[in-house]
Amino acid sequence: MMNYKGYTGNVVFDDKAKIFHGEVLDTKDVITFQGQSVDEIENAFHDSIDDYLDFCEELKEKPDKPFSGKFVVRVSPSLHHQIYLKAVQSGKSLNKWINETLKNHITSN
């Protein structure tokens, strides 16, 4: 994974074509890039993000950033109840408990 200006790029090597190609993951818009070396793929990634941001600015549109900080998770009623009880026992709201639990899990791995 590559990161630049808040965007994440995923890179794959095509051994038949002997080329790296990548796609930006953090947007619904399609942004791709390619290169034949690590330096080329990194430069192409940066150039693609910069071109995308310039294009959005020209159109006077906000660049797509699909992560609002809200998402819906469907769980069984039993699990919902168990999570709620854990939150209450810890003296936190359900939202705060889930947020902290997810953050702790991500940072511990």
Average pLDDT, the chain: 93
Contact 19, 35 (CB under 8 A): yes
- Evaluate if residue 71 carries a pLDDT over 90: no
Give yes or no for a contact between 46 and 9, defined as CB atoms under 8 angstroms apart.
no
Is 90 exceeded by the pLDDT of residue 64? Answer: no
Give the residues across from 19 on adjacent strands.
14
DSSP three-state, residue 60: coil
* % the chain with pLDDT above 90: 84
Would the pLDDT of 109 be above 80? no
In angstroms, what CA-CA distances link 94 with 16, 47, 72, 84, 97? 50, 42, 13, 6, 5
